[in-house]
Amino acid sequence: MSTSSALQGKTALIVGGAGGIGKAIGAAYVNEGARVVLADRNGEAAERAAEEIGAVTGVTIDVANEDSVKVAVADALTALGSIDILVNSAGIATQSSVADMDLAMWSETIAVDLTGVFLVTHHVLPDMLARGSGRIINIASQLGIKGGHSLAHYCAAKAGVIGFTKSLALEVAEAGVLVNAISPGPIDTPMVEAIDEEWKKAKRKELPLGRFGKPEEVAPTAVLLASDPGGNLYVGANLGPNSGDVMP
């Protein structure tokens, strides 16, 4: 049951919504009165998550495959009628030095973490432009700004997301569509859990808070950017809930 109304009457598509940050944002949006569709590569997990948080439905999406994106966006539009808010939260992270990284690892990360943001946005944006309103929120990473050891492919993709966000924001703000990014620090998600324990231990020591964030602690930033009037002046912004990790 909704306990607030900052997003009452709004509709949202959360990509990468079966778990982690995406699911937490979806839950926060439902709590704020929005009707939400969760999309994920694991469609069954998206359906389970949707039932758990009270979303409209879950759908399957492979963000690196344009045909899959088209179908998922069409399914979301059928379920919701329109998409007021798009959150691009799908992502993968693997570890390798550049010297040891093969093209397949590089290409997969770029395809999911960067090209996927373009593809979903490309197919959602026309509906927003036609209606003269919309919010697009891209989940980037502070590592897209500061870099990370053995994560060059991930960092390059997230830097691309930040650049894409800023450029698109300039294109569509006058048409009533506001585009922004969130660049969290390390967050306790299944994706981060898969990273080397030594890396995580060293990272925690760098953080003034001394701990990684929780997905639920990122979600309020996404609510702010999606809501009126809180998000009305953010155009091409890159907000960073990051446990105090200093960015250059």
Residue-wise pLDDT for 124-142, tens only, equals 999 999 999 999 999 999 9
Measured CA to CA, the distance from residue 221 to residue 6 in angstroms comes to 13
Confidence of residue 59 (pLDDT cuts 50, 70, 90): very high
Residues sharing a CB contact under 8 Å with residue 213, sequence separation 6 or more, in sequence order: 184, 185, 186, 187, 188, 241, 242, 243
Q: What's CA 165's distance to the chain center, in Å?
A: 12
154 catalytic per annotation: yes
Which of the four pLDDT bands, split at 50, 70 and 90, describes residue 34? very high
Residue range 163-195, pLDDT digits in tens = 999 999 999 999 999 999 999 988 888 777 777
Cis peptide bond prior to 229, omega within 30° of 0: yes
Percent of residues, the chain, with pLDDT higher than 70: 98
**Distance, CA of 49 to CA of 145 (rounded, Å):** 31
Contacts of 217 (CB under 8 A, 6+ apart): 187, 241
pLDDT band at residue 220 using 50, 70 and 90 as cut-offs: very high
List beta partners, residue 243: none
Provide the CB-side half-sphere exposure for 162 (13 A, CA). Answer: 20
**35-40/238-239 β-pairing:** unpaired
- Say if residues 7 and 31 touch (Cβ distance below 8 Å): no
With bands split at pLDDT 50, 70 and 90, how would you rate the model's confidence at 1?
very low
Collapsing DSSP to helix, strand or coil, 223 comes out as helix
- Cα 63 → chain centroid: 12
Bridge partners, residue 40, by sequence: 60
Of 51 and 211, which is predicted with more confidence? 51
Domain 11-239 coded CATH 3.40.50.720:
yes
* Closest by Cα among 221, 191, 228 to 16: 191
Q: What is the pLDDT of residues 84-132, one digit of tens each?
A: 999 999 999 999 999 999 999 999 999 999 999 999 999 999 999 999 9
Active-site position among 16, 93, 154, 169? 154
Rounded mean pLDDT, 20-30: 97
pLDDT score at 246? 64
Domain ranges within the chain, ordered by starting residue? 11-239
